[in-house]
Structure formats: C-alpha cells, structure tokens
Amino acid sequence: MSVDGSTIKSRIKNLLRSPSIKLRRNKPGNNKENLANKVTLEKVLGITASGNRALACDPCSGLVAYPAG
C-alpha cells in the first residue's frame, strides 16, 4: 500500500476518535437545555433574498433583518 493510503486511513481513524463525533452519536434530547424560556422571537420581518447571504437594515429604527433558514 502507498504512503498516501496509510495517511488517509490514519486521518479517518483520528476523525472517528474526535470528541465532536462522539457528541453527535448521543440520542436527540439528551443533555440539551430547554431554550424556550430563554429565547423569544420579538418580531418577524419579511425580506426577499436571492441567496443565503443577505442583510437588510431600516435606517429609521435600526432593525436588522437577515435570512434564517
């Protein structure tokens, strides 16, 4: 086997040992904090964007709108 092949294997093994991968394997809902009491939506603004990188600002009120989703 070539040197490149062993390098790829070692990278994959290291990735699989990564703590972030282990966190993703947890069942949904475990260790998740309920944010419903901490985060509230104050206002919904409608903007039309041609892509996922857009920003709109109302200079009178200072409100900023961006696509979320």
Is this model's pTM higher than 0.85 or not?
no
Angle among Cα 31, 38, 25 to the nearest 5 degrees reads 20
2-38 pLDDT, tens per residue?
A: 555 567 777 777 766 655 555 555 555 555 666 667 7
CB contact set of 15 (below 8 Å; sequence gap of 6+): 21
